[in-house]
Structure 1
Amino acid sequence: MIAAVTMDLVGSRRIADRAAAQREIDDALARVGRVGPKPITPLHPTVGDETQGVYAELDDALAAVLLLRLRLPDDVDCRFGIGLGAVGSIPSAAGDISEGPGWWAAREAIDTVHRLQQRAVPGARTWVAAADDASGLDLPHVNAYLLARDQLVTSMSERTRRLAYGRCLGTSQRDLAGAEGITQSAVSQALASAGAAAVVEGYRLLRHGS
C-alpha cells in the first residue's frame, strides 16, 4: 500500500544556522536515495522545514526513515509521519499541490509523534497512520516496533548511528573501524552497548524479509 512520508525538523526555530542544517538534510536525503529503498517520489524539501516523499510499500518507507535517522547528525533531529492511503496532486500555476488521504494520514501521524515527544515518550520520532480506505493493517504492532526502534536510535551517539548505518548497508566492522579511526573492538563494543544489532536486524527484515 502506498506510503506517504512527511518529515520535519525538530526545534527548527532554535537552530542557529538553518541553512547548514538544510545542507545536512539534503546530503542525507541524497545518500539514502542512492543506497536505500527506491521511492515513487523521492523525499524532497517542500515548504519551511518539511520534506515529503512517497514509497510503494510501508516496509520501504520504514527502512528509508531508519537510514535517515542514522545518517543525520546530532544537531539535525527530525521526526516522521507515514500515511497509508491514496495520494495525488492538484494542478496549480505554482506547481502541483500534494493531496489525498495518504497525505492527511501522514499529517495525523506526525502530529501524534509531536504529542508523544512532549509527553510520555520523548524518544519517539516516527508514527504510522492509515486513511479510512487502508484496511487490513496491524498498525498497533507497527507503531509498537517504531517506539522501541526510535528509543534505541535516539539514545545512540552520532558515531554509533554512523556505525549502525554502515552495518545496515553491509559494511564490515573492520571497514567501519578504519573509516572512524578506531579499533574493530571499539566498533563492536559501541554497537553492542547501544543495542544496534536489533536495529540492524530490523532493517534487514524490512528489506529482505525472514
Structure 2
Amino acid sequence: MTTVVIADIVGSRRLPDRESAQRALDDTIARAERDHPLALQPLRPTVGDEQQGVYPSLDAALASVLLLQLALPDGVECRFGIGVGSVHLIESVGREIPEGPGWWAARTAIDIVHAKQQRAVPSARTWVVAAPEENDAMHSAASLANAYLLVRDHVVGAMNERARRLTYGRCQGVTQRALAESEGISQPAVSQALTGSGAPAVVEGFTLLIAKGRS
C-alpha cells in the first residue's frame, strides 16, 4: 500500500544557521536515496522546512527514514509523519497538488509525533497512521510499527555522530575493518562503539525492513 512521508526539521526556528541545516538535510536525503533507492517519489522540499515523499510500502518508508536519521549530522534532526493510504494528484495552475487519505494520515502522524516529543516521549521522532479506509490488518501493522519506532528512535537518538555513521555503514554492508579504516580507529574500537550504542539491533531491523520493502 502506498505510504506517504512528511518530514520537518526539529526546532528549525531556533537553529543558528537555518540555511546550512537545510543544505545538510538535502544532501543527506540525496545520499540515502542514492545508497538505497526505495522511494517512488524521494523526499523533496515543499513549504518552509517541510519535505514530502512517497514510498511503495510501509517497510520501505521505515527503512528510508532510518537511513536519514543515521546520516544527519549533529545539530540537525527531523520529525517524520508516515501515512498509509491512497494518494492522487489534483491539477492546478502551473502544478499538481498531492491529495488523498495517505497525505491526510501523514499530516495527522506528524502532529502526533510532535505532541509526543513535546510531552510524554521526548525521544519520539517518527509515527505511523493508517487512513481510516484501510483494513484492520493495516491498522494493526501501524500500531506494531509505532511500538517499534518508539524504541528505535530512542536508541538512534542516544547515539553520537560517530555511532550513527558506523551504524549507517553497517546498514550498507560495510565491514567493520573498512569502517575502522575510514574512521582512523581500530576494528575493536568500531565493534565496541557499535555494540555499546545498540547498533546491531538497529541494523538487523533495517535488514528485515528492506527485505520486505523490496519484495
TM-score normalised by length of structure 2: 0.95
- Distance in 1 (CA, whole Å) between partners of 2:7 and 2:36 is 16
Which residue pairs with 2:53 in the alignment? 53
Does structure 1 residue 173 correspond to structure 2 residue 176?
yes
Post-superposition shift, 1:38?
A: 2.3
- Distance in 2 (CA, whole Å) between partners of 1:64 and 1:38 is 7
Which residue pairs with 2:146 in the alignment? 143
Post-superposition shift, 1:170?
A: 0.2
- Distance in 1 (CA, whole Å) between partners of 2:38 and 2:157 is 25
Which residue pairs with 1:21 in the alignment? 21
User: Secondary structure at the residue paired with 1:134?
Assistant: coil
Which residue pairs with 2:88 in the alignment? 88
Post-superposition shift, 1:23?
A: 0.9
Which residue pairs with 2:104 in the alignment? 104
Post-superposition shift, 1:37?
A: 4.0
User: Secondary structure at the residue paired with 1:124?
Assistant: coil
User: Secondary structure at the residue paired with 2:44?
Assistant: strand
- Distance in 1 (CA, whole Å) between partners of 2:86 and 2:74 is 34
- Distance in 2 (CA, whole Å) between partners of 1:203 and 1:193 is 18
User: Are 1:85 and 1:101, in contact at CA under 8 Å, matched by a contact in 2?
Assistant: yes
> Identity percentage over the alignment?
60
Which residue pairs with 1:198 in the alignment? 201
User: Are 1:41 and 1:53, in contact at CA under 8 Å, matched by a contact in 2?
Assistant: yes
Please list every run of at least 4 consecutive aligned residues from structure 1 whose deviation after the TM superposition is greater than 3 angstroms.
none
User: Where in structure 1 are there 5+ consecutive unaligned residues?
Assistant: none
User: Are 1:37 and 1:60, in contact at CA under 8 Å, matched by a contact in 2?
Assistant: no
Letter in 2 for 1:195: G
User: How is 1:34-73 mapped onto 2 (pairs within 5 angstroms)?
Assistant: 34-73=34-73
Letter in 1 for 2:76: V
Tell which deviates more after alignment, 35-44 or 177-186.
35-44
Letter in 2 for 1:198: A
User: Are 1:84 and 1:131, in contact at CA under 8 Å, matched by a contact in 2?
Assistant: yes
* 1:11-65 deviation per Cα after TM superposition (whole angstroms, max 9, x unaligned): 0000111111111111111111111242111111111000000001110000000
User: Are 1:37 and 1:63, in contact at CA under 8 Å, matched by a contact in 2?
Assistant: no
Letter in 2 for 1:160: A
| RMSD (CA atoms) | 0.9
- Distance in 2 (CA, whole Å) between partners of 1:41 and 1:165 is 22
Which residue pairs with 1:115 in the alignment? 115
- Distance in 2 (CA, whole Å) between partners of 1:142 and 1:18 is 31
- Distance in 1 (CA, whole Å) between partners of 2:37 and 2:103 is 20
Post-superposition shift, 1:207?
A: 1.1
